[in-house]
Amino acid sequence: QAFVGHGALFTARRSSRRPRDTVRDAMSVSQIRGGMGNITNFGRIVAKRVKDGLYAGRNVKYGNNVSEDGGNKTRRTWKPNSHRKRLYSEVLDRLVSVNVTAHALRCIDKAGGLDAYLLNTRPKDLLSNKAMDLRREIVAAITQGAGPGHVVGVTPRREKRAAALAAAEAGAGQAGKV
């Protein structure tokens, strides 16, 4: 298309920017469980470094430094508190080297370990190709070599509660025999 304005001839060009990804482009949960490729879009803008580690929803934040005197504003960024750590996977029986934030470490502890965190967290909350790859490995290891009594993802609190219930049932069973 050609536009004539102010005595000059201009041609309309398409924008060189790529269109923003939408939620519709994200893979479904069934595709993720089936191991079909990597997640490239998480329905929102996510930094590349977040896709390569366990960041538990943390991302780069933007804002201003505001001076005390004049209130002058200077743009700045806040980056996630991430570190390279080696975390132990009980199912895989090896250490996994991964970039992880302090918040993700707390979430992993609360879930009862790396395996429980990866299996019990929704894929859209993981926001990471690395996490989904590890999750696929763990699921494959569980389905291949898991015995009938093999339990993954039990938090320490649930384990204590189950032990207390088992002790109570054993005590009630012995009281009935006497």
Element (H, E) at 145: helix 129-145
Predicted pLDDT of residue 41: 55
Q: How far apart are CA 75 and CA 130, in angstroms?
A: 31
The number of beta carbons lying within 10 Å of the beta carbon of residue 120 is 12
Q: How far apart are CA 89 and CA 97, in angstroms?
A: 10
Q: How far apart are CA 67 and CA 63, in angstroms?
A: 13
Residues of the chain with pLDDT below 70 are 1-45, 145-156, 175-178
Residue 141 and residue 96 in contact, taking contact as beta carbons nearer than 8 Å: no
- The values of phi and psi at residue 54, to 5°, are -105, 105
Q: How far apart are CA 68 and CA 73, in angstroms?
A: 10
Pair of tokens at residue 55: 């960041």
As beta bridge partners, residue 5 has: 8
Q: How far apart are CA 126 and CA 73, in angstroms?
A: 34
What is the bridge-based pairing of β-strands 61-66 and 73-78? antiparallel
Q: What percent of the chain has a predicted confidence (pLDDT) above 90?
A: 38
| Report field, pTM of the whole predicted structure over 0.75 | no
pLDDT per position as a tens digit, 158-176: 778 888 888 888 887 776 6
Element (H, E) at 85: strand 82-89
Predicted pLDDT of residue 40: 52
